[in-house]
Structure 1
Amino acid sequence: MTPANDTFDGTFPFAPRFSNAAGFRMHYVDEGPASGKVILCLHGEPTWSYLFRDLIAALSGGYRVIAPDHMGFGKSETPGDRTYWLRDHIDNIEKFVLALDLNDITLVMHDFGGPVGMGLAARHPDRIHRIVSTNGPTPFGQATLFDRLSANAAASPWFQWIVRAESQGRLKPVLDELGFNILSTLKLNGFENHTRINDTWLRAYGSRFAVPADSAGAIGWAQGFAIGAHRFEVPDAAALDAIRSKPALAIWGDADRTLAAEHFLPLFNELFPLAPIHRLTGIGHYSLEDAPQEIVDLIEAFLKATDASSDGVTAR
């Protein structure tokens, strides 16, 4: 587990907070005015709230920016008696959101934070105000979902490796050493901005997985795909209609080698056919690392436009 008070040489200067609502010690960042509109940032594999550090710094002047670390990631606990499937993460975030009684939420989702956030939205559409996808899938019961997942997996080096390594018994041994191969894992998925790499940055992402016992979260997400253990939340008709009415924005790095735009942006477009989509040329899967300022600017503009809209509908 990453030490609670480690600021990584000042690059992550946010006070650590913890919640036990989900039955384990979940770390989260909570910056900005308590009365501000909530921005809930949900990370994926194998990152943590550090991924959102630029966004937190930029938005917390006027918004309440909350960024939890999923079970087994970042500064959160890695309980040994839990499973780490998608539904577990949805359950955890639901309990976290209800405990803090968060409403009027803008979801900012990356990687598997997308299915987690959309799972929360399916269960509590009344608590969601806006949806922002940053290389984060928005599966929401679409009939085409599994066809798109299969087509993407056939072309993605990461998913190809997961399936092969699990069948050969190598997945867990490799990911047990994620602290030592974090850079190659990030690069395999699609990381392009090499100017961000330094010893502090490597420590921020790699130290979380210093020993095999700390890798259960990363292993669970990968293994869950390989063995078909993840279950996407399927909304009822009312939730589906409610979410479709929300303002939404998609930002996608076109150099994503794990979640290809051609397979996942249609899922977003099916839900939000009028919503703006920004495709970033040369930007990889970890788009918030590759193009932090560009993404901050796009999200800030979206928030201002929708805040200013009297009827709550995205300005087109």
Structure 2
Amino acid sequence: MIEAEATFDRTFPFAPHFTDVAGFRMHYVDEGPGDGEPILCLHGEPTWGYLFRNLIPVLSRTHRVVVPDHMGFGKSETPQGRSYWLQDHIDNLERFVLALDLGNITLVMHDFGGPVGMGLAARQPQRIRRIISANGPTPFGQADLVERLTANAQVSPWFQWIARAHAGGVLTGVLGQLGFNILSTLKLNGFENNAIVTDAWLSAYGAPFSEPAECLGAIGWAEGFALGIHRFEQPSPAAIEIIRDKPALAIWGEADRTLQAGHFLPLFSELFPRAPIERLKGVGHYCFEDAPDTLADLIGNFICRS
């Protein structure tokens, strides 16, 4: 767990907030007007709220921007003796949202933040105002979800590595040293903007994983796929009707090597057939790192229009 006040050479200058409502010390950023409409930004693997550092100042001018770190990531605690499956992260997020009594939420989701956020939407559809997916799956009861996940895993270097590492008994050992191999892990998943790689940047992404006991979140997400333990939330017919009428936007970096657009954008289009999709050439899986200004403009303009 990173020190609460760490700013990484002032690249993450946001006041830390903490809650134990989910049974562990959960960190979150809470910027902008307290009575503003909330924007809830959800990171994935193996990142944390730092991913949204360029988005927060832009959106917090007019909105309340809330950015939690999932259990085992960022400045949040990595409790021992707990499981780190998808359903656990959904449980944690729901408790967090209810404790803060967030409503009219704009979801901004990246990577596994997509399944976590859509899990929240399935359970609390009346609290959602907009859906924004950026290189993240939007599973919401689609019949072909498993087939799409399987097809993607066959061509994704990250998921191919998970399968080999698990079969060879080295997955936990390798990811247990994530603080040392964070750069290779991020590059395997796909980011293209090498100019952003500074000592502060590397420290920000490596610091949460300083020892094996701090790597349970990252291990759990990968291991859950290898073992088939993650459970995607199944929305009720009523929840589907509520969510499919929400304004929605998909942003997809086409150089993503982890999540193939051909496998995952149809999940979005099936749920939101009239919603816009912005496809960005030369932008990788970590689109908020590769094209932060473009992402901020697209998201800010969409929120203003909808």
TM-score range for the pair, normalised by the shorter chain length:
over 0.9
Q: Deviations over 1:254-274 (max 9, x none)?
A: 000000111100000000000
Q: Aligned ranges for residues 105-116 of structure 1 at < 5 Å?
A: 105-116=105-116
1:263 match: secondary structure: helix
The aligned counterpart of 2:291 is 291
Q: Aligned ranges for residues 1-316 of structure 1 at < 5 Å?
A: 1-306=1-306
CA distance in 1 between partners of 2:157 and 2:195 (Å): 23
The aligned counterpart of 1:310 is none
Query: Amino acid of the residue matched to residue 88 of structure 1?
Result: D
CA distance in 1 between partners of 2:207 and 2:127 (Å): 34
Residue 129 of structure 1: CA displacement?
0.4
1:178 match: secondary structure: coil
CA distance in 1 between partners of 2:136 and 2:34 (Å): 27
CA distance in 1 between partners of 2:127 and 2:258 (Å): 30
CA distance in 2 between partners of 1:4 and 1:263 (Å): 38
Residue 57 of structure 1: CA displacement?
1.1
CA distance in 2 between partners of 1:3 and 1:159 (Å): 31
Residue 81 of structure 1: CA displacement?
1.4
2:66 match: secondary structure: strand
The aligned counterpart of 1:311 is none
Q: Deviations over 1:68-119 (max 9, x none)?
A: 0000000000000110000000000000000000000000000000000000
Q: Deviations over 1:163-200 (max 9, x none)?
A: 11011100000001100100000000011000110000
CA distance in 2 between partners of 1:228 and 1:192 (Å): 30
Aligned structure 1 segments of 4 or more residues deviating by more than 3 angstroms: none
Q: Deviations over 1:119-156 (max 9, x none)?
A: 00000000000000010110001001111101100000
CA distance in 1 between partners of 2:274 and 2:144 (Å): 19
Q: How many residues align?
A: 306
TM-score (norm 2): 1.00
CA distance in 1 between partners of 2:144 and 2:58 (Å): 36
Any gaps of 5 or more consecutive residues in structure 1?
A: 307-316
Residue 207 of structure 1: CA displacement?
1.0
CA distance in 2 between partners of 1:274 and 1:210 (Å): 44
Residue 245 of structure 1: CA displacement?
0.4
Query: Amino acid of the residue matched to residue 255 of structure 1?
Result: A
CA distance in 2 between partners of 1:185 and 1:191 (Å): 10
TM-score (norm 1): 0.96
